[in-house]
Amino acid sequence: MKLAFGCDHGGFPAKNELIEFLIEKGYEVIDCGTFSDESCDYPDYAEKVCKLVTEKECEKGILICGTGIGMSIVANKISGIRCAHVTDEFSAEMTRRHNDTNVIALGARITSTENIIKLVDIFLNTPFDGGRHAIRVEKINSFDK
Ligand code: RB5
């Protein structure tokens, strides 16, 4: 699976360890930056990652900022993206099973790198349940421009 990754300076501390984990697991990762802990604007990185997902260059996107909230707000404004801001394992699983989310947003200032890796792993390995949830996801998609 090909993944798009993006973070700002708030998410930067979790970046290297997460990408190393993903590569070790056999994923191909397109790193959209940022590439240092210098202050930057998270919408720029969310946009790059989401574009790779909507253009089907990547199957899923991973976004990390300080809280994960700013990244998720941006991602959910982009047509074709369903992004979940995740802080716990149950939500990481359920957002795939019920919402068929294609992007996950996490916060490196509220979630340890170890837990970020755990949550991303669950997100990437949980399939969509379909069925009644497919009807609901279609309704979500109907809001897309
Ligand atoms: C950057 O200071 C911080 O605002 C950003 O990383 C993120 O938490 C925004 O939601």
**What percent of the chain is modeled with pLDDT above 70?**
100
- Report the pLDDT averaged over residues 12-38: 98
Q: Is the C-alpha dihedral spanning 21, 22, 28, 29 positive or negative?
A: negative
Rounded Cα distance, 72 and 32, in Å: 16
Categorise residue 59: left if φ over 0, alpha if ψ from -120 to 50, beta otherwise.
alpha
Whole-number pLDDT of residue 142:
97
Question: pLDDT grade, residue 57 (50/70/90)?
Answer: very high
- End-to-end CA, the chain: 27
Q: pLDDT at residue 145 above 90?
A: no
Helix 12-24 and helix 113-125: axis angle, to 10°?
40
Q: Tokens 């998410």 correspond to what residue? A: 11
Q: Give the pTM.
A: 0.98
Does residue 3 sit in helix, strand or coil? strand
Tell me which of 38, 42, 83 to substitute to probe ligand 1's pocket, judged by most ligand atoms within 8 Å of the beta carbon.
42
- Report the pLDDT averaged over residues 58-65: 98
Q: Whose CA is nearest to atom 10 of ligand 1?
A: 70
Q: Which residues are paired to 2 by β-bridges?
A: 28
Q: Are 86 and 120 in contact (CB under 8 A)?
A: no
Whole-number pLDDT of residue 6:
99
Q: From the CA of 66, how far away is ligand 1's center (Å)?
A: 5
Q: pLDDT at residue 60 above 90?
A: yes
Q: Whole-number mean pLDDT of the chain?
A: 98
Ligand 1 atom at minimal distance to the Cα of residue 109 = 8
Which residues does the annotation mark as catalytic?
65, 98
Q: pLDDT of 106-121, one tens digit each?
A: 999 999 999 999 999 9
